[in-house]
Amino acid sequence: MRYLSQQGHAVVGVDRDAQAIAAVADLGEAIEADIENAAWPLPNRQFGAVVVTNYLWRPVWPSILSSLAPGAVLIYETFAAGNETVGKPSRPDFLLQPGELLSRCAGLRVVAYEDGFLNSPERFVQRIVAVQTLATQRLVQRFHLSPSLHSLE
């Protein structure tokens, strides 16, 4: 929330931890909610972007996807299978299986996807950037790729 707010974006954050919400309350709309044990706190609301980090609760996937407005971007990164060999989380319930983000985002236009190991701190992750498009919508937005992705040096 802090980074996106500093970039001039209106932000909405959801967390079950009251202290986490208090820490970001001055940045935008901060909602204390336990999305694992209560109703989705943002019914019928759509956003230009949805960002999820270090979190996985599979039952909320339909709510996350329905929160994407046409043309919206989903950025999602969390722990993946293999992480149990280097630390927490280690329970399979909290680790994405190979290709799981790709299958969860099957109805979106995937712009970037990674599945692998990061050194510092050691962790296995999957991350995806995907765009919500309508079947009748032709996406002509330019997604700039890092030059380093094209270099073999």
Shared domain check, 83 and 52? yes
Contacts 24+ apart (CB under 8 A), 69-72: 69/132, 70/132, 70/133, 70/134, 70/137, 71/131, 71/132, 71/133, 71/137, 71/139, 71/141, 72/46, 72/47, 72/48, 72/131, 72/132
The verdict on 12 and 65 lying in the same domain is: no
pLDDT digits (tens, 9 = 90+) for 66-97: 999 999 999 999 999 999 999 999 999 999 99
For 93-146, what is each residue's pLDDT tens digit?
999 999 999 999 999 999 999 999 999 899 999 999 999 986 545 555 555 555
Please state the domain count of the chain. 2
For residue 4, give its domain range. Answer: 1-33
- 74 plus 94 within the same structural domain: yes
- 18 and 65 housed in the same domain: no
Q: pLDDT above 90 covers what percent of the chain?
A: 86
